[in-house]
Chains A and B, each alone.
Chain A
Amino acid sequence: MQFSDIFMKLWNNGLIQKGIWETVYMTGISTVISYILGLPLGVVLNVTDRGGLHPIPWLNKLLGLIVNFFRSIPFIVLMVSMLPVAKFIVGSSLGNGAMIVMLVIAATPYIARMVESSLQEIDAGVIEAAQAIGCSNLQIVTKVLIPEAKPSLITGGIISMVTILGYSAMAATIGGTGLGQIAIVYGHQRSKPDVTWVCVLLLVIIVQIIQAVGTAVVHRTDKRIRQ
Chain B
Amino acid sequence: MIELKHLGKTYRTADQEIVALDDINLTIRDGEIFGIIGLSGAGKSTLVRCINLLEVPTSGEVLVDGRSLTKLSRAELLKLRQSIGMIFQGFNLLEQRSVLRNVCFPLEIAGVNKQEAKKRARELLELVGLSDRETSYPSQLSGGQKQRVAIARALATNPRYILCDEATSALDPNTTRQILELLRQINKDLGVTIVVITHEMKVIDQICDRVAVIDHSHIAEEGRVSEVFTNPRSEIARNLIIPRERTVLETDGGKRLRLKFDGETTSGPHIAEMILACQAPVSILMANTKELDGVIYGYTIIELPTDSHQADKIILWLRNSGIAFEEVE
Q: Does B297 sit within 8 A of A, measured CB to CB?
A: no
Q: CB distance A129 to B88 under 8 Å?
A: yes
Q: CB distance B110 to A134 under 8 Å?
A: yes
Pick the contact of B82 from A123, A134, A144 — CB < 8 Å?
A: A134
- What number of B residues sit within 8 Å (CB to CB) of A? 32
Q: CB distance B109 to A133 under 8 Å?
A: yes
Q: Does B239 sit within 8 A of A, measured CB to CB?
A: no
The smallest C-beta distance from B214 to any residue of chain A, in angstroms, reads 20
Pick the contact of B95 from A128, A134, A223 — CB < 8 Å?
A: A223
The interface residues of chain B lying within 8 Å CB-to-CB of A128 are 54, 88, 92
Q: How far is the CA of A176 from the CA of B78 in the complex (A)?
A: 53
Q: CB distance A132 to B139 under 8 Å?
A: no
Given that A129-B88, A223-B137, A224-B137 are contacting pairs, would A135 and B78 also be in contact in the complex, using a CB cutoff of 8 Å? yes
The interface residues of chain A lying within 8 Å CB-to-CB of B54 are 128, 131-132
Q: Does A4 sit within 8 A of B, measured CB to CB?
A: no
Q: Does B31 sit within 8 A of A, measured CB to CB?
A: no
Q: Does A147 sit within 8 A of B, measured CB to CB?
A: yes
Given that A131-B54, A134-B81, A224-B139 are contacting pairs, would A139 and B95 also be in contact in the complex, using a CB cutoff of 8 Å? no
Q: CB distance A150 to B96 under 8 Å?
A: yes
The smallest C-beta distance from B276 to any residue of chain A, in angstroms, reads 58
Q: CB distance A148 to B139 under 8 Å?
A: no
The smallest C-beta distance from B259 to any residue of chain A, in angstroms, reads 44
The smallest C-beta distance from B255 to any residue of chain A, in angstroms, reads 50
Q: How far is the CA of A216 from the CA of B100 in the complex (A)?
A: 25
Interface residues of A (CB under 8 A from B): 123, 125-126, 128-136, 139, 143-144, 147-148, 150-151, 221-227
Given A129-B88, A223-B97, 4 more A-B residue pairs with CB atoms under 8 Å apart are A128-B92, A131-B81, A133-B109, A223-B96
The 7 A-B residue pairs with the shortest CB-CB distance in the complex, in nearest-first order? A129-B92, A134-B81, A132-B86, A223-B137, A125-B92, A134-B78, A133-B106
Show 13 A/B contacts (Cβ-Cβ < 8 Å), sorted by A: A126-B92, A126-B94, A126-B95, A128-B88, A129-B92, A129-B93, A129-B150, A132-B54, A132-B85, A133-B153, A134-B78, A139-B109, A150-B96
